[in-house]
Structure 1
């Protein structure tokens, strides 16, 4: 299991493409994210079948769904992302030079439409960084080994278009660097409808849950990723299928559980974290090992108990014969005379002083 998760994280780091920077013209501000969700759900089926880019934030294309069981998630339309970005810039009060520069990054519609979900998140965070110093610091720190200083979500940073995407961006970096405990709180409050990249949210959160030894929620996210999500990168899908199979076959207890707990402790210590949670996991390792030893001891007692009872019955006649036997021609019982051993005589080549010292040590 560790090998699969390490591969998942390594592949995500190596193959994660950088966001493309393109030139653009400003576009008209559109509806907010929540309003757009309601509009997408209420709209009637158009004559022409929409492309994935024309789906709403909930990923449900018109004409595709007939009920709740058919709900699918897809990356948010680039036009919609651009529109909500400009709305956020207006709320921030960005000056015209900053707004013009950000608009230029989104002008080439063909290039923006070709971006993957992860690239779209990157481009969006880069745009936020042009207008917000805290986001710029987070972005620049993400280019190195960290640690990252989190953003305080207050004021305009509470707007969903900002908060949800920056949380996903931040958590993705944390997971890629094995800070699963820090990443999970950032992702737990998010749903696929909240983010530009639903596939990235579900995949990274599943990895996070699995690494923190919580297979139930991990399997839930993997099921949504594999069955209800469009635009899933091949590397995500392949790794998710392997993870799903291994988690389904995972059993509690035994040496495998001990190995998982020890791996978690090792990760925490590698990250320099030896606090309360790490100590709890260490105690869990000891408890799991004690339980295994107790089970083995009970099993050995049961096995040896059955063997000894039958063996003792078979050996009793022989024991009686041994008590009654004696050497042929002997008239006594074979008892030897016991004599007291006196400490006299010399010990090898020791002189008197050395001998006295040796005897004192023996006593």
Structure 2
């Protein structure tokens, strides 16, 4: 069977359901699925909350983030604009460490952002409430205020050094200057460098939503990348049916689509287990039982490929039915989908 064909969803399918790119591997990620099918990283989904994400390094406090990492960060954020990121500020400056990347996000969102930043080689942490609750942030504010005050004090003290009697007049202004400089440093350090506006999407049918919610735990357990991507191909096509122009018609068959995802998950896990078994030293292709296992793998792969093709055909025929053309053909495509699902069930029973 052509395993490669299972792992390559076309650009049109991805465009309909993708929300951005994975920070770990650069693959397209599906907006409704909290896992990257290529590498298993949990992608970012913006949800409101009371957490701030602080970038801590690499680098020393009050030093600027190196330009290569800043560019890498901007590139990733730009690729995930559909998630709700705005990078206008970060694009035009290189901030000093530590700095506030985003604020007002939920705990899960902050965790996924930190995980993605780690893949980009950037150290980050989350705090609840004010970013100044973090010791590194307070140290940064104090250091920047000290630098600023030293400069201001030198400017104010210069006249007094030239003419001693006015020193008493300058002293109150020096005290006031420290308060102003500290307030400016505090405000500058607490400024958010990336805007975040959570986006909402129409809810999926409950059964499908529940099935998709299980994928983040399942996908990392699949060892072979091509099997993870094969599952992602099926999920992507199901979501494209629901999110595309044929969404209303597709929702009427949500039970079949949910079952298709379930059986695709069973198929890729079984193929993954079989191929793991085939790498053992005691596996003998000449043995009858081992040949039967290999044939089972090929049956799963063939059925899964047929299921993917059937989902493509169903999408095309539902679109035609919406245009009042080929209504009977869409019924045929649904029958074909059910037949393919039943074929996968038959392999599962073997």
- TM-score band by shorter chain is under 0.3
Where relative contact order (Cα < 8 A, 6+ residues apart) is larger, the structure is 2
TM-score computed with the length of structure 2 as normaliser: 0.24
